[in-house]
Chain A
Amino acid sequence: MKFEDIIKKENLIYKKTPLMTDNTLSYCPGCGHGTAHRITMEIVEEMGIVQDTIGIAPVGCSVLAYEFMNVDMTQAAHGRAPAVATGIKRCWPDKFVFTYQGDGDLAAIGTAETIHACNRGENITIIFINNGIYGMTGGQMAPTTIEGMRSSTSPYGRDAALMGHPLKMTELVAQLPGTCFVTRQAVHTPSAVRKAKKAIRKAFELQKEKKGTTFVEIVSNCNSGWKMTPVQANKWMVDNMFPFFPLGDIKVPE
């Protein structure tokens, strides 16, 4: 059978969006970043808004998101993506602007930018990948590292008395009048992926209506940083992260 036969229209059940480039993903096999990228780009494709979309890549494992997402992109300094997005959106109010950020980026060094962009109700979409660890720099403790969880800077497990409590940034921004849609999703199973994708679509649609900041957390894994196999990592995430970071919508527009 030739390749052309395999991809005959009637055989085609899934196709890679042209908004993902052919560059080899720099993510570890099993990592949730790749899936989160893909569904974000699928939404941009499905909504037909690529000519009006600008993405912001953070500092973290997804610093190279611009190598994979085939849309105009700006790479921001660590934590500053919501400010960068604000600068763009204020100048181009009819464009779609999204940030894609890890937990260290969004909830530690960039806490002020996150809160203030959300509080001003910037009409941007924030996609927040919470893997409970600093993946890029080799597995240090993140603001979202749960109690007892080991990392290279909490080698005996996070001790809240010593290291502070894990931060529920998503619940926090849901309190702000500027946010209009705040949700927590995951991408570890096909059904979770479908739900996460729907949430991202809703976020972009609300952005179009200029209803305020839309915020989609994706609880994800970091099998390398957690020192687990991808399968173990997903199981650990379900058993340990989901109880502390429960999935579902936290704030939806009336």
Chain B
Amino acid sequence: MAKELKLMKGNEAIAEAAIRAGSDAYFGYPITPQSEVIEYLMAEKPHERTGMVVLQAESELAAINMVYGAAGTGKKVWTSSSSPGISLKQEGISYIAGSELPCVIVNVVRGGPGLGTIQPSQADYFQATKGGGHGDYHLLVLAPASVQEMADFIGDAFDLAFKYRGPVMILSDGVIGQMMEKVYLKEQVPRLSDDEIAEKYPWATIGKPASRERNIITSLDLDSSKMELHNIHLQSKYRQMEEEEVRFEKINCDDADYLFVAYGSSARICQKSIQLAAEKGIKVGLLRPITLFPFPKKQISEMADKVKGILSVEMSAGQMIEDVKLAVNGRVKVEHFGRYGGIIPTPAEVVDALIEKIIGE
């Protein structure tokens, strides 16, 4: 299938793009606002199209552990869920990080805490970027801001997951998952054959031939001196990500007096706020982190030397602002504006917050 243009929901786009990226398996459990992912996959019969496995698990716990098992065999495997389901997956994600397995986890975030609401939110930023489960680890976190990026990031996420042998999260939200936009879909990438997997991933647990020692996938080491070394190794991967994988977008930043920092659907809202502000004669730019971990600290730090104030716009009570403040290190005023619990801020509200909290009377 050649590259083609379609009108799709974000959730459908990521499912279709995953099939085309040559993914081998998806394990999931329904939850709003992302159930279209597994519904689309089941309807598409990827087993017939590419041989991809799709299975509805009995819970998110089971789903993430199916991912763990399959990832340990060198397969391109992924799962998706929304906030409460992602909470349930955290033990498994920690195991995956600890035993260094590649996989992709999609979180189409809804409002919390608890069962919360099915409406969009960005309140899982801490959970996504600071580890989420137990132990010292990070996910590499990509934050799409459009249906196109939902489609584009799944392939990138697999590449990064295999490059670093670790879990990659696509942190989306109910807006991006549910809205329809036009999307260019890439051509089908063939799935790896079993022989190619055996050759490319010598660590995979696919049965021990006489030619090698047995492979073991584990996150356990009762010898703490070895466990510390393992942790140091994991940390070195995170430092390498900080060097090599930071992604961001700058809009209108060249002669801006003020700056919005926003990701995902908040960044889309801020694009409109920039226009509204310009109508009032206020020059404001947007720095959109695309990777939330690694976070574009340097780029925000550079902007801190150029602008008079920064507004961190998030659909949360203020989570990313902590990373923005660390990057700015007190040089300019940094404030947060957000609506939460499933409320989406309007562009005008954002401009009002900029005037009120940053520019002043």
Stretch of A45-53, A147-155, A213-221 contacting B (4+ beta carbons < 8 Å): A45-53
What is the chain B residue whose CB lies nearest that of A21? B214
Give chain B nearest CB distance to A53 CB in angstroms: 6
Given contacts A74-B218, A75-B220, A91-B77, contact A80 B65 (CB under 8 A): yes
Given contacts A86-B55, A87-B67, contact A74 B209 (CB under 8 A): no
What is the chain B residue whose CB lies nearest that of A88? B69
Query: Which residues from 206 to 244 on chain B have a C-beta closer than 8 Å to any C-beta of chain A?
Result: 206-210, 214-220
With beta carbons under 8 angstroms apart, the residue of B53, B68, B77, B205 that contacts A72 is B205
A83-97 near B? 1/0 per residue, CB < 8 Å: 111111011100110
Residues of B contacting A112 with CB < 8 Å?
Answer: 58-59, 61-62
Contact in complex: A73, B216 (CB < 8 Å): yes
Residues of A contacting B59 with CB < 8 Å?
Answer: 112
Contact in complex: B75, A91 (CB < 8 Å): yes
Contact in complex: A88, B73 (CB < 8 Å): yes
Residues of B contacting A77 with CB < 8 Å?
Answer: 65, 68, 91-92, 95
What is the chain A residue whose CB lies nearest that of B209? A51
Residues of A contacting B72 with CB < 8 Å?
Answer: 74, 84, 88
Contact in complex: A50, B208 (CB < 8 Å): yes
Give chain B nearest CB distance to A233 CB in angstroms: 25
Given contacts A54-B206, A80-B92, contact A116 B69 (CB under 8 A): no
A interface size (C-beta, 8 A): 34
Task: Let me know if A71 is at the binding interface, CB within 8 A.
Answer: yes
Task: Let me know if A76 is at the binding interface, CB within 8 A.
Answer: yes
Contact in complex: B73, A54 (CB < 8 Å): yes
Alpha-carbon separation in the docked complex, A90 to B219 (Å): 23
Contact in complex: B57, A83 (CB < 8 Å): yes
Contact in complex: A72, B215 (CB < 8 Å): yes
Given contacts A53-B207, A77-B92, contact A88 B215 (CB under 8 A): no
Give chain A nearest CB distance to B202 CB in angstroms: 12
Contact in complex: B70, A87 (CB < 8 Å): yes
Contact in complex: B69, A87 (CB < 8 Å): yes
Task: Let me know if B137 is at the binding interface, CB within 8 A.
Answer: no
Task: Let me know if A70 is at the binding interface, CB within 8 A.
Answer: yes
Query: Which residues from 285 to 332 on chain B have a C-beta closer than 8 Å to any C-beta of chain A?
Result: none
B interface size (C-beta, 8 A): 40
Task: Let me know if B66 is at the binding interface, CB within 8 A.
Answer: yes
A79-117 near B? 1/0 per residue, CB < 8 Å: 010011111101110011000000000000000110010
Alpha-carbon separation in the docked complex, A80 to B91 (Å): 11
Task: Let me know if B25 is at the binding interface, CB within 8 A.
Answer: yes
Query: Which residues from 193 to 213 on chain B have a C-beta closer than 8 Å to any C-beta of chain A?
Result: 194, 205-210
What is the chain A residue whose CB lies nearest that of B24? A91
Residues of B contacting A70 with CB < 8 Å?
Answer: 208, 214
Which of B24, B75, B205 has the most CB atoms of chain A within a 10 A radius of its CB? B205
Task: Let me know if B263 is at the binding interface, CB within 8 A.
Answer: no
Give chain A nearest CB distance to B53 CB in angstroms: 5
Task: Let me know if B27 is at the binding interface, CB within 8 A.
Answer: yes
Ordered nearest first, which 4 A-B pairs have the shortest CB separation? Answer: A87-B69, A87-B66, A84-B69, A83-B65
Known: A70-B214, A88-B70, A91-B77. 7 other contacts (CB 8 A): A70-B208, A72-B208, A73-B216, A73-B218, A83-B63, A85-B69, A87-B77
- Interface set of B (CB-CB < 8 Å, partner A): 24-25, 27, 53, 55, 57-59, 61-63, 65-73, 75, 77, 91-92, 95, 99, 194, 205-210, 214-220
- Interface set of A (CB-CB < 8 Å, partner B): 50-54, 56-57, 63-64, 66, 69-77, 80, 83-88, 90-92, 95-96, 112-113, 116
Question: 11 A-B contacts, Cβ less than 8 Å apart?
Answer: A53-B208, A70-B208, A71-B207, A72-B206, A74-B72, A77-B95, A80-B68, A87-B65, A87-B70, A88-B205, A116-B57
